Amino acid sequence: MENIVITITRQIGSGGYDLARAISEEFGFKLIDRELVVHAAKILKTDVAYLDKKEERTSSLLEKILSVFSIGTPEIGSLAGSFYPTDAEIFEVQKTVLENFAQNHDIVALGRASFFVFKDHPKHLSVFLKADLDYRVKNVAKEFNISDKEAIELINQTDKNRNEYIKKMTGLNRCDLRNYDIVLDVSCIGFELTKNFVIDVIKHKFFKNGGGR
């Protein structure tokens, strides 16, 4: 029997992590977020901090140079203390780790192109959360204890990074709403209604009559 997979793609500041946690707690699903990075880092033999830094963004020129020199040559050896994997290598390993989790657990996965990884999974529900800029600025400024101006800069850069990463790794536009089963504007309907709606959809889709699948 296939396990249930819920994927959440979100704009920063729209409450994606809170929704993922609420779903995990409601149904006992395994929340895949930080754990994915730790597992991927072990497989790639690189630093968790390096993967954290690269969260859903493509490599800078410096990182690309480091990834070449970290391999080293017989003449000069490695110029880096650990392996700096390429974007493609990170994506493939994270994809494998996600798939392995889904083989053993019902999961809710946050970001990292999970909507694409599980697009053909028979028990997959994909959710996209969006919100207007004012709503996002308020949440981001509070979460990171920064000014509204700094929050706007962080939002713009994060959106750019994530869009470029998804385009490069999957060929898809992350903001193309045709990629998702459910699209919700949290700034319009509020987080509680968003949470309750998604939970009700999961119950209806996977737990009909309040019983088994």
**Domain count of the chain?**
1
Which residues have CB under 8 Å from 165's CB, separation 6+? 56, 57, 58, 87, 113
Tell me whether residue 98 is in a domain.
yes
Interval 91-110: pLDDT, tens: 898 899 899 999 999 999 99
* pLDDT of amino acid 39: 76
CA 83 to CA 43: how far, in whole Å? 11
Place of tokens 């997979």: 5
Residues 6+ apart with CB under 8 A from 19: 8, 10, 127, 129, 191, 194, 195, 198
Hey, what are 58's tokens? 């493509």
Q: Is residue 22 part of a domain?
A: yes
Q: What is the pLDDT of residues 53-62, one digit of tens each?
A: 666 554 444 4
On whether residue 174 sits in a domain, the answer given is: yes
Q: Evaluate whether residue 68 is within a structural domain.
A: no
* Domain enclosing residue 125, as ranges: 5-33+86-210
Q: Let me know if residue 41 belongs to a domain.
A: no
Residue 209 pLDDT: 60
In a domain, 79, yes or no: no
Specify whether the CB–CB gap between 169 and 87 falls below 8 A: yes
Strand segments (E) across the chain: 5-10, 30-32, 107-110, 124-130, 182-185
The residue type of 200 is D
For residue 112, the model assigns a pLDDT of 86
Mean of the per-residue pLDDT values for the chain?
84
Three-state DSSP class for residue 205: helix
Q: What is the pTM of this model?
A: 0.83
User: Which one, of 101, 126, 94, lies nearest residue 6 by Cα?
Assistant: 126
Q: Which residue has the higher pLDDT, 194 or 86?
A: 194
Q: Is residue 50 part of a domain?
A: no
Residue 37 has pLDDT above 50, yes or no: yes
In angstroms, rounded to a whole number, what is the distance separating the alpha carbons of residues 159 and 57?
A: 9
Tell me the three state secondary structure of residue 200.
Answer: helix
pLDDT digits (tens, 9 = 90+) for 119-176: 999 999 999 999 999 999 999 999 999 999 999 999 999 999 889 989 999 999 999 9
In the chain, the N- to C-terminal Cα span, in Å, equals 10
pLDDT tens digit sequence for 185-203: 999 999 999 999 999 999 9
Q: Is the pLDDT of residue 86 over 60?
A: yes
Residue 97 lies in a domain: yes
Residue 210 confidence (pLDDT): 52
Looking at the chain, the whole-number percentage of residues with pLDDT higher than 90 is 62
Q: What is the CATH number of the domain that holds 14?
A: 3.40.50.300
Q: Report yes or no: 129 and 162 within 8 Å, Cβ to Cβ.
A: no
Count Cβ atoms below 10 Å from residue 150 Cβ, excluding itself.
Answer: 14
**Strand, coil or helix: what is 152?**
helix
